[in-house]
Amino acid sequence: MKKAFITGITGQDGSYLAEFLLEKGYEVHGMIRRASTFNTKRIDHLFENPEIGNKKLFLHYGDLSDSSNINRLLERIKPDEIYNLGAQSHVKVSFEVPEYTAQTDAVGTLRILDAIKETGIKTKFYQASTSELFGGIPGTAPQSEKTPFYPKSPYGAAKLYAYWITVNYREAYNIFAVNGILFNHESPRRGETFVTRKITRAVASIIAGKQDKLSLGNLDAKRDWGFAGDYVEAMWMMLQQEKPQDYVIATGETHTVREFTELAFKEVGIDIEWKGTGVEEKGYDRKTGKLLVDVNPRYFRPAEVEFLWGDPSKAERELGWKRKVDFRGLVKMMVEADVKEIAGIDLETYLEAATDKR
Ligand code: NDP
Ligand code: GDR
């Protein structure tokens, strides 16, 4: 039985990857941080299965800032594959905590690579690199493995170091280490402060009568949004290759934040009216079925990545990877899940009831 070690197992991708690897018959070890509240919500369901919890899935306390712990864990577990998904992953937050972001996202990656080198364990290493490396410079899209980097945030700069130190340890010490340069990927498990989930939660909260207003930042930013469940498969595929190489993973489509918002609200029959900054009016008008969305500079970033559009052709050609969920399907999946969770109703049932009222 192969053993995998995942940092960031409690996050969106970590939870999907753990499921995927368990399904493939792996023994999965995950690093979790000690927190004052429960932080294992995304993987609790796995522990409920008596065949998995503490038989095939094991959690270990640790932190990417703690080298001695990382060394000890790797020496003890001796994983066949390491997936470094742990990170301070919020771009806007990285402007507020740049040093911490560098410690975790940049030096944290070095700590694992150096632990591999020093302990001499035979393992393969996956680094969660990102489309934020590209910075969305005009004229560079669609972005591929050959596109020059130009990070626009402390997060992007930290991930740039992590990218290059991964390449460097591969070349210098012959470690099987790869970068997956993943474009934005989302799911019903997406963190609630990322824009897609903020929007789909707002859809559900508004129809449930728990929220009236929605404020967003840059509506014109373009992102290549895919489904996280599809993307974790690509991570695994990269580690099954003969030679370690870096790959872009994306859908090859790009959409604005505005389009995502309109599509998400359309799923529940709400039309949007866009307003400028400082709109004081009530957001959702139940009589007209219209929602006023305002732009709040609070959500702007000191520097912005305006345009991301990935070219996944190398991964499609060499890994045989292909995304299964398209943009529409992703929006619908997220709206459905949040409507169920927050409004406590199936989307279909809600829509039927709404049609009956009309
Ligand atoms: P999440 O924010 O959902 O998860 C981040 C994980 O990292 C959590 O498990 C978190 O633990 C853990 N973590 C944070 N800080 C530390 C630390 N100091 N030591 C150990 N663990 C830590 O991110 P995603 O799942 O969305 O992303 C996974 C990885 O992929 C990240 O590295 C991200 O930067 C990168 N990425 C993500 C993309 C996306 O669109 N989702 C695209 C490209 C790259 P806790 O639960 O305790 O907070
Ligand atoms: P991103 O994701 O920065 O691309 O990083 P996020 O969802 O935070 O932002 C996407 C775009 O939407 C704009 N935006 C807003 N963003 C947030 N969070 N909240 C808002 O209210 C809002 N309004 C508009 C942003 O300005 C931005 O342009 C994600 C993370 O998962 C990273 O870890 C990962 O590396 C990249 O995707 C690829």
Model ipTM value:
0.99
Q: What is the pLDDT of residue 354?
A: 84
75 a catalytic residue: no
Q: What is the pLDDT of residue 292?
A: 85
Rounded CA-CA distance 323/331 in Å is 15
Ligand 2, residues at Cβ distance < 6 Å: 89, 91-92, 130-132, 183-184, 193-196, 198, 216-218, 221, 223, 257, 299, 301, 304
Which atom from ligand 2 is nearest to the alpha carbon of 196?
A: 7
In tens, the pLDDT along 72-129 reads: 999 999 999 999 999 999 999 999 999 999 999 999 999 999 999 999 999 999 999 9
Q: Rounded to the nearest whole angstrom, what is the distance from the C-alpha of residue 223 to the centroid of ligand 2?
A: 9
Nearest-ligand number for the alpha carbon of 127:
1
Average pLDDT value over all residues in the chain: 95
- C-alpha angle with apex 31: 27 to 34, nearest 5 degrees? 140
155 a catalytic residue: yes
Rounded CA-CA distance 327/185 in Å is 10
pTM: predicted TM-score of the whole model, two decimal places:
0.97
Structure tokens at 290: 């219209």
Q: What is the pLDDT of residue 290?
A: 83
| Catalytically annotated residue among 19, 132, 186, 262 | 132
Could you tell me the pLDDT band of residue 282, with boundaries at 50, 70 and 90? low
Q: What is the pLDDT of residue 264?
A: 98
Q: DSSP letter for 37, please.
A: S
Mean pLDDT throughout 48-71? 96
Q: Which residue has the higher pLDDT, 213 or 26?
A: 26
Query: Are 257 and 200 spatial neighbours (Cβ–Cβ below 8 Å)?
Result: no
Mean pLDDT throughout 232-257? 98
- C-alpha angle with apex 185: 307 to 134, nearest 5 degrees? 35
Domain of residue 338, residue span: 195-221+255-304+326-357
Which atom from ligand 1 is nearest to the alpha carbon of 105?
A: 32
* Rounded (10°) angle between helices 108-119 and 154-173: 20
Together in a domain, 183 and 268: no
Could you tell me the pLDDT band of residue 211, with boundaries at 50, 70 and 90? very high
Together in a domain, 78 and 145: yes
Q: What is the pLDDT of residue 274?
A: 84
Q: How many independent structural domains does the chain possess?
A: 2
How big is the chain by its Cα radius of gyration, in Å?
21
Say whether pLDDT at 280 is over 60. no
Q: Rounded to the nearest whole angstrom, what is the distance from the C-alpha of residue 298 to the centroid of ligand 2?
A: 13
Q: Name which of 85, 141, 167, 112 is nearest 253 in CA terms.
A: 141
347 C-beta neighbours (distance < 10 Å), count: 20
Could you give the C-alpha distances from 117 to 129, 132, 176, 252, 327, in angstroms and in order?
20, 28, 11, 36, 41
Query: Are 265 and 223 spatial neighbours (Cβ–Cβ below 8 Å)?
Result: no
Nearest-ligand number for the alpha carbon of 129:
1
Q: What is the DSSP code string of 77-108?
A: H--SEEEE--S---HHHHHHSHHHHIIIIIIH
Together in a domain, 88 and 137: yes
Question: Which amino acid, one-letter code, is at 207?
Answer: I
Could you tell me the pLDDT band of residue 326, with boundaries at 50, 70 and 90? very high
User: In CATH, what number is assigned to the domain containing residue 346?
Assistant: 3.90.25.10
Q: What is the pLDDT of residue 273?
A: 86
Say whether pLDDT at 140 is over 80. yes
Say whether pLDDT at 342 is over 70. yes
Q: DSSP letter for 127, please.
A: E
Nearest-ligand number for the alpha carbon of 301:
2
Together in a domain, 285 and 207: yes
Q: What is the pLDDT of residue 358?
A: 63
Together in a domain, 260 and 337: yes
Q: Rounded to the nearest whole angstrom, what is the distance from the C-alpha of residue 263 to the centroid of ligand 2?
A: 17
Q: Which residue from 73, 85, 254 has its CB within 8 A of the most atoms of ligand 1, so it is best to mutate?
A: 85
- Hey, is 227 helix, strand or coil? strand
Could you tell me the pLDDT band of residue 305, with boundaries at 50, 70 and 90? very high
Q: Name which of 60, 49, 61 is nearest 23 in CA terms.
A: 49
Say whether pLDDT at 144 is over 70. yes
Say if 310 falls within a structural domain.
no
